[in-house]
Amino acid sequence: MAIAQSGHRTKLVHQAFWLEWLTIAWMVLEAVVALWSAYVAQSITLLAFGLDSVIELISAGVLVWRLTVELRHGQSFSEEAERYASKVGGALLFALAAFVVISAAWSLSIQRTAEFSVPGLVVALLAIPIMYVLANRKIAIANEIGSRALRADAVESITCGWLSFMVVIGLAAQYVTGAWWVDSATSLAIVWFLVKEGREAWASGECGDGCH
């Protein structure tokens, strides 16, 4: 696909800039509700969801900075810092995946039961359509301006949407069955999404926008 040039590219970068601010606003709300709900319900699933939201919040903040630098100074100035930040984000996601596995194993070994969380269910339900809309628009702009970083961020939004779906399934199953092991099982299912997201972030850090 042809890469957008000059004035049209600047317009698209502005759109991406505001999409990232919308992402930041939602991730702040999502992280606060999920982490608070995780604390109240003692839920590993909601804790993983909330910590993933924090990591995505940091990623969106870095991309806002990167887009701001391009608007002011041109595309090339921020690529090295962006690659470094992407690798850090990927490493944090891998660390989170390891934490979830260890926590779930511990909960399964002692048969700890998490409480059902209505706020956690609501925020996960809302995240599904919100992430879908944000991801679609980010991918469209990323394709036009040739930005691997923005596309990787869109993939994170898609992953967040699927992760939200898993949280909804897990909480619903927990409410219906009341089984003590549901929260731990759901949190382990989330690990796949965390690793996938971490690999995408790390790959983005390897080559930046110059890799298509």
Question: Among 146, 191, 190, which residue's Cα sits nearest to residue 9?
Answer: 146
Residue 210 clears pLDDT 80, i.e. is over it: no
Q: Count of domains in the chain? A: 1
As given in the structure block, the two tokens for residue 211 are 């890799």
Mean pLDDT, the chain, rounded, equals 83
85: confidence class by pLDDT, cuts 50, 70, 90: low
Are residues 182 and 85 in contact, defined by beta-carbon separation less than 8 angstroms?
no
Q: Is residue 12 part of a domain?
A: no
Which range in 28-32, 65-69, 110-114, 137-141 is most confidently predicted, on average pLDDT?
28-32
Question: Among 63, 13, 50, which residue's Cα sits nearest to residue 124?
Answer: 50
Domain range enclosing 59: 19-210
The pair phi, psi for residue 112, each rounded to 5°, is -80, 135
Q: Is residue 5 part of a domain?
A: no
Span 142-176, pLDDT tens digits: 888 877 778 878 888 888 888 899 899 989 988 88
Buried-state track 39-72, b at ≥16 Cβ within 10 A, e below 16: eebebbbbbbbbbbbbbbbbbbbbbbebbebbee
Q: Is residue 6 part of a domain?
A: no
* Predicted local distance difference test score (pLDDT) of residue 1: 45
Q: Is residue 14 part of a domain?
A: no
**Number of separate helices (H) and strands (E) present in the chain:** 6, 0
Q: Is residue 23 part of a domain?
A: yes
Residue 78 clears pLDDT 80, i.e. is over it: no
* Predicted local distance difference test score (pLDDT) of residue 2: 46
As given in the structure block, the two tokens for residue 124 are 């996960």
Q: Is residue 51 part of a domain?
A: yes
Q: How far is CA 195 from the centre of its chain?
A: 11
Q: Is the pTM of this model over 0.85?
A: no
As given in the structure block, the two tokens for residue 94 are 């891998």
* Predicted local distance difference test score (pLDDT) of residue 124: 95
The pair phi, psi for residue 114, each rounded to 5°, is -90, 150
* Predicted local distance difference test score (pLDDT) of residue 46: 92
Work out the average pLDDT over 97-110: 86
Q: Is residue 11 part of a domain?
A: no
Question: Among 184, 196, 141, 135, which residue's Cα sits nearest to residue 161?
Answer: 135
Q: Is residue 121 part of a domain?
A: yes
Q: In the chain, what is the greatest distance between 2 CA atoms, to the nearest angstrom? A: 60
* Predicted local distance difference test score (pLDDT) of residue 63: 82
